[in-house]
Chains A and B, each alone.
Chain A
Amino acid sequence: MYTTKKAWVELALYAGEIMLKNGAETYRVEDTIIRICKMHDIHSVESFVTPTGIFVSVNDIPDSPSISFIKRIKNRTINLNKVSKVNDFSRKISNINLSFEEGMRELRIIDFIPAYGKLFEGLGAGIASAFFGVLLGANILDVLISFFISIVIYLVLEFIDSLDTNLFIQNTIGGAIAAFLAIVAITLNIGIDIDKIIISSIMILLPGVAITNAVRDSISGDLISGLARTAEAIIIAVSIAIGVGLVMHIWIQFLGGAL
């Protein structure tokens, strides 16, 4: 009895880990873990989720010490496909009686679903920046330039990410690339409005999701997650600004550029 319950908690923890790693909200991860546990007759269970770790404690068996699990989350990306799949899974598990092994196998399949791949994601980055530029009212050349710049940024960041770097370095480099290539385009007289090129190129780096989640977590009572995500958003924003700012500053001060 003890071991089966422990196994189900592990399954719930794994489901929570996949969700949190791929950008689910705090309350959704907590709810999913508790829901999966309660479905398997584990009633006194508490879960506490922050963006950097999951804590689950179960105290369900009389006369035995409670067990707790801690899962440290180091890398977070946004892959909403996986979040949606785990959500489906936790809904499905209540309808049909899945065995532990089957459940684990399904979760592992979800965990290793390939992303859309570099080609499509890079293209997505380009399209996103280009059409954001159109919304800003940039002209067609500027739009094309930001299309290419953000593909370059995406590919470089993918490479840097594989070298196990942190958020700060990644976004500083991203911002610097955006500013540098925009300046090159302006100097070669291809681009016209440097502001619009840079704004639409750094769009793919901006912590829009992080800020939104931060405020949402804070307002709905997950204060620690809210603060953690705020810190993340500020670090991303500041590092992009440092990257862009550094390059622009050098250009204006030493190379005689003008805004």
Chain B
Amino acid sequence: MIFIKEFFMAAMAVVGFGLLFNIPKKAFPLAALAGGLGWISYVYFLQVLDSVIGATFMGTCVLAIISEIFARTFKETVTVFTIPAIIPLVPGSGMYYSMLAIIDSDYALFASVGSQTLFIAASISAALLIVSSTTRIVMNIKMKVGTN
């Protein structure tokens, strides 16, 4: 039940960013679906792995795989889905709290929160990259098998 609610909230946030980023009209439900599923996998893996960075990585993997499938099926560029869909996972609060730490002159807190923020951002990119590279490898193998 909690997952349905979280899914809906994340999907709406993705729709909002879809409007801001001017994604094509037919991509809205698909991007929302990818973003919502990515977010609930994040919530799920946060409980299982107990690590924000790991959960972000898994969530991004899920939404990236879904986006690659949509991109192939609907002949769209994959960024149309991934860019709005990753937004719920972007570490906005991490950035804010690292800034507050600077105002407080609490540099130890800044170092820990700031580096965690950086790692979350890196895990999002790494997940996107791993999925897209794997897709390319799989497609190339398919093409090679097809021509032989």
Q: Which A residues lie at the B interface, using CB under 8 A?
A: 23-25, 28, 78-85, 87-88, 91, 115-116, 120-121, 123-132, 134-136, 154, 195, 198-200, 202-204, 206, 208-209, 211-212, 214-216, 219-220, 237, 240-241, 244-245, 248-249, 252, 259
Contacts and interface: CB of A to CB of B under 8 A. Distances in A.
B65 interface: no
A136 B88 CA distance: 10
Given A121-B20, A204-B20, A87 B77 contact: yes
A81 B23 CA distance: 5
Given A135-B9, A208-B86, A124 B96 contact: no
B74 to A, nearest CB: 10
Contact of A78 (B6, B10, B83, B88): B83
B7 to A, nearest CB: 11
Q: Which of A25, A125, A134 has the most CB of B within 10 A?
A: A134
Interface in B1-41: 6, 9-10, 12-13, 15-24, 27, 39
Interface of B: 6, 9-10, 12-13, 15-24, 27, 39, 75-77, 79-80, 83, 86-88, 90, 92-93, 95-100, 102-103, 121-122, 124-126, 128-129
**Secondary structure class of chain A's binding surface, majority of residues:** helix
A80 B100 contact: no
Contacts of B79: 23-25, 80, 83
Q: Which of A115, A128, A135, A198 has the most CB of B within 10 A?
A: A128
B78 to A, nearest CB: 10
Nearest to A150: B16
A206 B16 contact: no
**Secondary structure class of chain B's binding surface, majority of residues:** helix
A209 B83 contact: yes
B22 A220 contact: no
7 contacts: A83-B80, A84-B24, A206-B95, A211-B90, A214-B125, A215-B126, A249-B103
A219 B131 CA distance: 13
Contacts of A209: 21, 83
Contacts of A82: 22
B47 to A, nearest CB: 15
A219 B9 CA distance: 32
A220 B129 contact: yes
B147 to A, nearest CB: 19
